[in-house]
Amino acid sequence: MLSLYSVAYDLISIPLTAIAAHLPAPLSAWLVNTTLLNVLGALVFCAILLGASMINTIMLIWFERKMLGRFMDRRGAMHVGFAGLLQNFADGLKLFRKNTRRPKDADFVGFYAAPTAYMVSSLVMFAILPVSTGWSAGALPLSLLLALVVFSFAPLFIFLSAWSSANKYSLLGGMRSAAQMIAYEVPILLAVVAVVVLSGSFDLTTIVYEQQNYWFWAPLFLALIVFVAGMLAEMERIPFDLPEAEAELVEGWNTEFGGMLFAFFMLADYVRALVGCFLIVLLFLGGWTMPGWVPASATSFPLAGIFWFMLKTYLVFGVFIWIRASLPRVRTDQLLRVGWMRMVPLSLLSIVLAVAVVLTKCLPVIGCVPGIGGG
């Protein structure tokens, strides 16, 4: 089966073997060596992954700017590139050229390490989440668990950045962020447990295979709601964006960061948004599987899995943009109250429902009701 890793391996091994054919024996043996080829193949794999995810992230920002613009009766970015497609690259370049300043009292290590670690921990998610069959480097039996663990690193780095920048706004924002993310991690994990109960696996690829016939959103509607709300809080998007509530906390925990450090935070936020949409698609919307009513000819073209996966991802993100365009921001105490007193019970209820669905074997009945997501 064609996999991204094998493509990356071929990309490096074919030219190397060709070169080695013209070299004397000891040198060619050293060059065409499984360990070296594997390492180089892994590097190329990472580069492809990084490039794809970065381009997608930047396109996501463009998508948000354009769609928000339309909601607000304006056009969004228009001038750089066709319909402003290159605007974000230009912005990135501008931020890259800008000077970064560290406040006098800021902690050196924390101030520079936090944005980097935040960025890296967000990017690692792309290596874990399968976008299509053969996307992951290796089959991880606990990839869902790993993904959630890596996803929950963020509050630590946010708090680190807030504390090390020695600013009162940052500190308040960091406190809020930590409280919010920890509060919403619980319902997210519980909602995921419902998915695990239904699919019987912690492997994301298996979870998607289990959805070949019935997407999980219908039987686990409650869990989906909890998961989406939790993801909104994790992404710090508008109804729950109080850690960086610009009205009262200037920019929240990233107040003191400028230039590339700010770009790291900004980009990582969107990486996390993209990853959150990936998770929703993987866990509830059937991953790269196609709705049953789509004719087979439309589902069998090359890279069809990636196409359908990205289409669903962008649709989910479109819903998030819609929410951002139309809802006000809640208050910290209200957010935490909703998190602990509504979301956690709801997610527990969704686990009970998932267990009931499995025990009564009524998945075919519930899964077929909405017409979407049947095999």
Partner 1 sequence: MSEMWINMGPQHPMTHGLWNLRVKIDGEIVVDVDAEMGYLHRGIEKISEDRHYNEVITLMDRCCYVAGMAWEHLYILAAEEALHVTVPERALYIRVMSEEFQRVASHLMWYAAFVQDIGLLTPFLYGMRDRDLILDLFQSYTGGRMTYEYMRVGGVRNDMPPGFTDRARKLCTWLIDRFKEYDTLCLASTIFHKRCDNIGVLKAAACRKHGVTGPMLRSAGVKADIRKDRPYAAYDRVEFDVPVQQDADVTARYLIRMEEMRQSIRIIRQTLDWLDAHPGPVIAPQLPRWLGAPYAPIGNEGYLLKRNYPHGLGFSAIEEPHGEALAYLVNDGGEHPYRVKFKSPVFANISAVREYVVGYHVADIPPIMGSVDICVGEVDR
DSSP designation for 301: S
**Residues forming a β-bridge with 374:** 214
Distance of closest approach, residue 347 Cβ to partner 1, in angstroms: 21
User: Tokens at residue 190, please?
Assistant: 């519980």
Site for partner 1 in 58-87 (CB under 8 A): 68, 71-74
Span from 52-60, 126-134, 284-292, 326-334 in contact with partner 1 (CB under 8 A): 326-334
Give the position of tokens 């050196």. 108
In the list 82, 328, 359, 361, the residue contacting partner 1 (rule: CB under 8 A) is 328
Residue 342 near partner 1 by CB under 8 A: no
CA–CA separation, 252 and 3 (whole Å): 42
Site for partner 1 in 150-169 (CB under 8 A): 168-169
CA–CA separation, 148 and 125 (whole Å): 9
Distance of closest approach, residue 241 Cβ to partner 1, in angstroms: 7
DSSP 122-158: HHHHHHHS-SSTT-SSS--TTHHHHHHHHHTTHHHHH
User: Tokens at residue 242, please?
Assistant: 């109080």
Short-list 202, 229, 234, CA closest to 121? 234
Burial class for 219, CB neighbours closer than 10 Å (0-12, 13-18, 19+): buried
Distance of closest approach, residue 104 Cβ to partner 1, in angstroms: 17
Count interface residues toward partner 1 (CB under 8 A): 30
**Nearer Cβ to partner 1 (80/325):** 325
In the list 37, 145, 175, 304, the residue contacting partner 1 (rule: CB under 8 A) is 175
Site for partner 1 in 241-270 (CB under 8 A): 241-242, 245-250
In the shown chain, the binding pattern of residues 186 to 215 toward partner 1, with x for contact by CB under 8 A and - for none, equals: ------------------------------
**Nearer Cβ to partner 1 (208/249):** 249
User: Tokens at residue 160, please?
Assistant: 């680190």
Positions in the binding site for partner 1 (CB under 8 A): 68, 71-74, 168-169, 172, 175, 238-239, 241-242, 245-250, 324-334
